[in-house]
Amino acid sequence: MSVRILFILFIIVCSCKSNKQAIAEPEGAQNAAYKWGKIALEATANDTEKFRPRPTVTSRMLGLVWTAVFDAWSRYDAKAVPVYLQNVERVAVSDRTLKNKEAAISYAAYKMMRTYFYSDSVMLRNKMKEFGFDPDSESLDPTTPEGIGNLAAKAVLENRQNDGSNETGTMPGSAGKAYADYTGYRPVNSADTLNDIKRWQPKYFADGKGGKFAPACLTPHWGKVKPLLLDSGSQFRCQPPPAIGSVQLQQEVKEVVELQANLTNEQKALVEFMRDGPKSVQQAGHWLIFAQDVSVRDKHTLDEDVKMYFAVEAAAMDGFIACWDTKMEYDFARPYTLVHYYYKDKTIKGWGGPEKGMIEMKGQEWRPYSPETFLCPPFPSYISGHSSISAACAEILKLFTGSDHFGIEVKRIPGEMTEPERKGKEVTLKFNSFTETANMAGLSRVLGGYHIQCENKEGLQLGRNVAAAVWKKYLYHIGETI
């Protein structure tokens, strides 16, 4: 081979390398999947402002959004198996371009969010236009990216419309209200009358306008929702909670009182951070944020983020279904009620309210470390949702990344969301590992007075059981052998 030919080949190789570097895929916060994740979080926060926190509903919305995105993306992958999309062939290798994948997942995400977060339709339309896509395209052509994205969303919406969530409010007994209960659940106790100490009791919240109201139980039917990747909601149902009068229950209620009486600034900040505050995205959204932290840290491509968000949000969605199955099976009392029962007329130390700090009080005056407008979650206590979902999502992130290392830090002002007139000095919360982050989330609910310790521990175990089952199904859907 002549020197001239070798020189020409050398120039071609160098040119190819240069072009490859010039068109390298966007990573982390720049990839399209990440951007749609941010949009989903914004829509979730707005949904909370409009409808109040409803973590079960939110988890389903996010879980199904990312299922549709995954299904659309799967047609551009060599091995992936969609969850609901059928009769759409894999695209030719030559058409598996970044541009086409971005279009397909964008249409899937948009159609799903437009349905579930309908009050944000203007914002969503503007995002589509900003990304260069036509928000009015209804194409179902399986040979085009927009058609594949629309078909993926259509398949998910149709398959999940009658999944037991009562999305449309058409289930008999639900009075036509979306996501309303249809099981006929009625609490044994009212906000004013305690008939059975071991059962859940509604509590009065301030309405922010000088009045008060007692929220009804949130989605008591949720354990009957068809899971996404689990076999059933009862697959990992927990053992019963400790009995009234048992030494275990007495000790765990005592622990809650003592922990609250000695809250440190760092613990207050942890309680508030995990509680999620105003414009909350709840646990499914919180762990989507953590997943996005991983994306930035590890410089994920679109492919990696689509798979990771799908796995994390599937675990969150199914985790809530499994958690609610246990919650409604036992209908167990909150610490709010149990402390009043065990410490009635006894002098204890506890949080007196936003302007009072820690004071001496009678047991029946005790309350969680929480604002008047959200005193405690309006549903049974056993088991902890934060523990369940955090453990499930943490385990998925550990499996996905191949390491338990997390390594993020968050700065918070203790008390800023609970006692703004008595704020502490800024603290730094360190989340060294995924497992530690889940454990901290679970402990925060005990520190805040929302749960006793067994509810945390059983929730963490249920979450890890859910993650193991979801991961096996996830491996199947990405085309990996188990």
* Residue 437 parent element (H or E): helix 434-447
| Mean per-residue pLDDT, 282-307 | 97
Determine the pLDDT at residue 7: 46
Q: Does the domain formed by 205-477 have CATH 1.10.606.20?
A: yes
Q: What percent of the chain has pLDDT over 70?
A: 94
Q: How confident is the model at residue 21 (pLDDT cuts 50, 70, 90)?
A: very low
Give the domain ranges of the chain: 28-160, 205-477
Instruction: Indicate the fold that domain 28-160 takes in CATH.
Output: Vanadium-containing Chloroperoxidase; domain 1 (1.20.144)
Q: What percent of the chain has pLDDT over 90?
A: 89
Yes or no: say if 333 and 200 are a contact pair by the CB < 8 Å rule.
yes
The chain-wide mean pLDDT, for the chain, equals 94
Q: Is it the case that residue 61 has pLDDT exceeding 70?
A: yes
Q: Which two tokens stand for residue 1?
A: 């081979």
Q: Using the CB atoms, write b or e for 280-303: b if 16+ within 10 Å.
A: bbbbbbbbbebbbbbbeebebbbb
Comparing CA positions, the residue from 312, 267, 323 lying closest to residue 434 is 312
Query: pTM to 2 decimals?
Result: 0.94
Yes or no: say if 453 and 257 are a contact pair by the CB < 8 Å rule.
no
| Mean per-residue pLDDT, 166-175 | 93
Q: Say which range, 19-23, 24-28, 99-103, has the weakest mean pLDDT.
A: 19-23
Give the total residue count for the chain. Answer: 482
Tell me whether strands 405-412 and 427-433 are parallel, antiparallel or unpaired.
antiparallel
Q: Is it the case that residue 8 has pLDDT exceeding 50?
A: no
Q: Using the CB atoms, write b or e for 182-202: b if 16+ within 10 Å.
A: bbeeebebeeeeeeeebbbbb
